[in-house]
A and B are shown apart, each in its own frame.
Chain A
Amino acid sequence: MPMNKRMNLTLLAAALVALAVAAGATASSKGTSLSLVAYSTPKPVMAKLIQAWQKTPDGSGVSFTQSYGPSTNQAKAVAAGQPADLVFLSTGDDVNLLVDAGLVNQNWNRQSYDGIAADTVVVFAVRDGNPKHIKSWADLIKPGVQVVTPNPFSSGSAKWNILAAYGAQRRLGKTDKQATAYVQQLFSHVVSQDSSGSNATNTFLSGKGDVLITYESEAINANLQGKNIQYVIPRQTMLIQLPIAVLKNSKNADAANQFIRFVKSVPSQETLVQYGFRPVNPTVAKEAATIKKFPARPGIFKIDDKYIGGWRNADKVWFASGSGRMVKIEQAVSGPTSG
């Protein structure tokens, strides 16, 4: 009996080791592998683009690992050592975080299209039929309106929402103080601040809030997945520019750069349009399909607008930990003061 037991235990141990080795062997990649770290919502379109690229000579044989999450948290994870070859984040602010950590070249935004892969705009997602008639920023602060927007200390989407809210007020003639007061009033209507844009979408879809401030691309993405979200583009809204950049220490920088060029090429930009993103490639922007899909808004302004002053300035004024305006506003409304 003991001999059999010993043999059985040995066989069991051997089987376990074999299993572990087999699992490990299949898990290890052969050939070039690119690590993509991205913000929370573009997973479906990235899957499509990666597939398409892998059919080209440049991309054949290249495997991908992907990680999606709240843009700022993702940037911090990469800064803390999460392996990455390229990042596709939702704000230039988060890429600057990596520049400051020495991981991204400070010329990243001198690449084609200023280092941007795609655009979108800030929109209001509303309930079926828009029962509270939400069309403009002023409607958001009407009594009883409940707003869903993510946590600005972890999510890139949240930052865009706040700057869009502020910028819209400024462009309507309000002073800096008045516009900041508006943002505070807006946040007193906020009923949920999830960590990421996609979590906020989930919260809104699960029944919370009257309006979700989100990316146009995310609303379209939800609709493509059958969720049926109605959305409104306010007259004054912000152009969301989504940056893509290679990491300095990437061992596959060439492949990563090739993929980025691919993302900015005409066929990829057309795919991005299908998935709800506004293209950066001017050829695609002029196509009939694009114009039909994306209503123009004369009131669209960008991050470099004089009232916002670019990401470095916006970060210092609004999102700096401890001293940013959002810290004070969140404290006033009992919201999160960190990611």
Chain B
Amino acid sequence: MLKKYAVRFAALGYLLVVLLGPLSMLFWRVYVEGAGKAWTALTDPDTIHAFKVTLELVAIAVPLNTLFGIVVALAIVRRRFLGKGLLNAFVDLPLALSPVVVGLSLYLLYGRTGWFGPWFSGHGIQVLFALPSMVLATIFVSVPFVAREVVPTLREIGDEQEQAAHTLGASGWQTFWRITLPSIRWAVIYGVIVTTARCLGEYGAVAIVSGSIQGKTETATLRVQEEYENLNLAGSYGISLVLAAIAIIVLILMTTLRPKEGVS
């Protein structure tokens, strides 16, 4: 009996120290540094622009990765081909890879002495230190999530309905829109939420390729670090508060939309 309580309190105690401790600092620090100063920093044009840039990156990366995730999941589960293992490895790689490695690889590919750099600069297209490289970095780090949600669902539900539709004369497109997609929609939605959270929170890869040009290539997360560097802690915490609020909304969505299992 006592053991049960001991185990419970050990677990909850760990969570309190490791998780809730840091989280509780957020409101307190904003209060200490001055909510007024934090507000000033949040309404600074460069900060507002940073949030816009973050939104832009999300608006481009999430739909692309959703499309990719669905297509690759269908291919992996429903198709036969050689090299599935290799495909799996590349899709999963961003999960285990440091964002610094991601950013550096893009920096080397599109830099002045990289394979693609000279071609782009020759045609007057700025890739590094501009939005294109930031988009590429954001897509890279968030590639796996939709696929990883859809694959298990596709496996689980099987393809009898698709086969039935096929024998009844439905075209591939019709089958996809009317049967496949609705059956995986919750997996897709959950994957979209996780992908969005990942894109919002990205720091390392974008930091390397963007040059942190204020008012141009700074994202909200880069801005947090910039404000800290400029001795403006109120600004750092203010922006963090907004990001944390978004994170909590994401968390609520994740919790409510996750299929209920693992908790008795």
Direct contact of A and B (CB under 8 A): yes
- Do the beta carbons of B129 and A81 come within 8 Å of each other? yes
Q: Which residues of B are interface residues toward A (Cβ below 8 A)?
A: 49, 52-53, 55-56, 59-60, 63, 111-112, 117, 121, 126, 128-131, 177-178, 181-182, 211-216, 226, 228-232
- Closest Cβ neighbor of A198 among chain B residues: B229
- Closest Cβ neighbor of A44 among chain B residues: B230
| CB neighbours of A321 from chain B (8 A) | none
Known contacts: A16-B63, A198-B231, A202-B228. The answer to whether A77 contacts B211 by CB under 8 A is yes
CB < 8 Å neighbour of A67 from B130, B182, B211, B229: B211
CB < 8 Å neighbour of B59 from A19, A64, A198, A227: A19
CA distance A202 to B214 in the complex (A): 20
* Additional A-B contact list (19), CB under 8 Å, known A27-B216, A77-B211, A198-B229: A2-B177, A2-B182, A13-B63, A20-B56, A23-B52, A23-B56, A23-B59, A27-B49, A67-B214, A68-B229, A68-B230, A69-B212, A82-B129, A82-B213, A196-B229, A198-B230, A198-B231, A202-B231, A205-B231
CA distance A66 to B44 in the complex (A): 14
Q: Which 8 A-B pairs have the closest CB atoms?
A: A20-B59, A65-B216, A23-B56, A67-B213, A82-B129, A2-B178, A82-B211, A23-B52
- Closest Cβ neighbor of B117 among chain A residues: A81
| CB neighbours of A2 from chain B (8 A) | 177-178, 182
| CB neighbours of B215 from chain A (8 A) | 64-66
User: Nearest-CB distance from A151 to chain B (Å)?
Assistant: 15
CA distance A222 to B216 in the complex (A): 26
Number of interface residues of A (CB under 8 A): 36
CA distance A5 to B53 in the complex (A): 29
- Closest Cβ neighbor of A1 among chain B residues: B182
CB < 8 Å neighbour of A82 from B128, B177, B228: B128
CA distance A27 to B177 in the complex (A): 36
| CB neighbours of A24 from chain B (8 A) | 56, 131
| CB neighbours of B229 from chain A (8 A) | 40, 68, 196, 198-199, 202
CA distance A23 to B226 in the complex (A): 22
Known contacts: A2-B182, A81-B112. The answer to whether A16 contacts B59 by CB under 8 A is yes
Asked whether A26 is an interface residue with its Cβ less than 8 Å from the other chain, the reply is yes
* Majority secondary structure, B binding face: helix
| CB neighbours of B131 from chain A (8 A) | 24
Which chain A residues in 209-230 approach chain B with CB under 8 Å? 222, 225, 227
- Do the beta carbons of B214 and A66 come within 8 Å of each other? yes
| CB neighbours of B226 from chain A (8 A) | 68
Mask: chain A, 143-155; 1 = CB below 8 Å from B; 0 = not: 0000000000000
Mask: chain A, 1-32; 1 = CB below 8 Å from B; 0 = not: 11001100000010011011001101100000
| CB neighbours of B56 from chain A (8 A) | 19-20, 23-24, 27
Asked whether A83 is an interface residue with its Cβ less than 8 Å from the other chain, the reply is yes
User: Nearest-CB distance from A63 to chain B (Å)?
Assistant: 8
User: Nearest-CB distance from A20 to chain B (Å)?
Assistant: 4
Which chain A residues in 52-81 approach chain B with CB under 8 Å? 64-69, 77, 80-81
Could you name 24 residue pairs across A and B whose Cβ atoms are closer than 8 Å?
A2-B177, A13-B63, A20-B56, A23-B59, A24-B56, A27-B49, A27-B53, A27-B56, A40-B229, A65-B215, A67-B213, A68-B226, A68-B230, A69-B212, A80-B128, A81-B117, A81-B121, A82-B129, A82-B211, A83-B126, A198-B230, A202-B229, A225-B232, A227-B231
- Closest Cβ neighbor of A26 among chain B residues: B52
User: Nearest-CB distance from B172 to chain A (Å)?
Assistant: 15
Mask: chain A, 128-172; 1 = CB below 8 Å from B; 0 = not: 000000000000000000000000000000000000000000000
| CB neighbours of A35 from chain B (8 A) | 213
| CB neighbours of B63 from chain A (8 A) | 13, 16
Known contacts: A13-B63, A20-B56, A24-B56. The answer to whether A66 contacts B213 by CB under 8 A is yes
User: Nearest-CB distance from A220 to chain B (Å)?
Assistant: 13
Asked whether A201 is an interface residue with its Cβ less than 8 Å from the other chain, the reply is yes
Which chain A residues in 88-145 approach chain B with CB under 8 Å? none
CA distance A6 to B182 in the complex (A): 11
CA distance A65 to B60 in the complex (A): 23
Asked whether A43 is an interface residue with its Cβ less than 8 Å from the other chain, the reply is yes
- Closest Cβ neighbor of A2 among chain B residues: B178
| CB neighbours of B60 from chain A (8 A) | 20
User: Nearest-CB distance from B147 to chain A (Å)?
Assistant: 19
- Do the beta carbons of B177 and A80 come within 8 Å of each other? no
- Closest Cβ neighbor of A20 among chain B residues: B59
- Max chain B Cβ within 10 angstroms of own Cβ: one of A80, A196, A227: A80
